[in-house]
Amino acid sequence: MSGPADGYTLMAGHIRPASRGFLRLTSADPSVPLEINPNYLSVQSDVNALVQALEMCREIGAAKALDEWNGGELYPGPDAVSKTELERYVRQSVITYHHQVGTCKMGVDAMSVVDPTLRVYGVERLRVVDASIMPSVTSGNTNAPAIMIGEKAADMIKATSRA
């Protein structure tokens, strides 16, 4: 990316997308890589939300208070005005916050990977203790919830080992 020496960047993000990806085992051999499909923007409401956020960024960028630093819009560019053009830009430029969660569902139903004490169903002496047990991503950084999960797991493991 290139641009003026002085300026600013406005960037929109969709914190709680509806799109859901998946992990799939491709073999019983643990050395064979998983199939990982993040399925970004597979739900139209996610695309619509990002287009709306892009339009809001444009409104903010057009504020008189920013004129001194406004060298012009670089991406998607001032010529991209239709919903179709903005949607195309969103689909081509989307990135992730890298806070994926929810790949090891905790619960008691048939779709659950771990039980309420984080033990993996069907595997002895194995627990999953990370953000993958969370049902959906938090609106903030996942670090604090992941630490809380680890602290709670440590308490459960210590309690089990004392029994």
Phi first, then psi: what are they for 119, rounded to 5°?
A: -80, 135
Per residue in 4-59, pLDDT (tens digit) is 677 888 988 898 899 998 889 899 999 999 999 999 999 999 999 999 999 999 99
Neighbour count for residue 87 (Cβ, 10 Å): 18
Angle subtended at Cα 22 by Cα 24 and Cα 146, rounded to the nearest 5 degrees: 110
Which 8-state DSSP code applies to residue 119? B
pLDDT at 3: 64
Given a contact cutoff of 8 angstroms between Cβ atoms, the answer to whether 25 and 14 are in contact is no
DSSP characters for 7-58?
A: --------SS-S---EEE---SSTTSPPEEE--TT-SHHHHHHHHHHHHHHH
- For residue 127, give the DSSP letter: B
pLDDT digits (tens, 9 = 90+) for 89-138: 999 999 888 888 988 999 999 989 999 999 999 999 999 999 999 988 88
Kindly list the catalytic residues.
99
CA-closest candidate to residue 14, choices 102, 101, 137, 144 = 137
Contact 73, 59 (CB under 8 A): no
Write the pLDDT tens digit of every residue in 54-64.
Answer: 999 999 999 99
Q: What is the CA radius of gyration of the chain?
A: 22
Q: Are 158 and 129 in contact (CB under 8 A)?
A: no
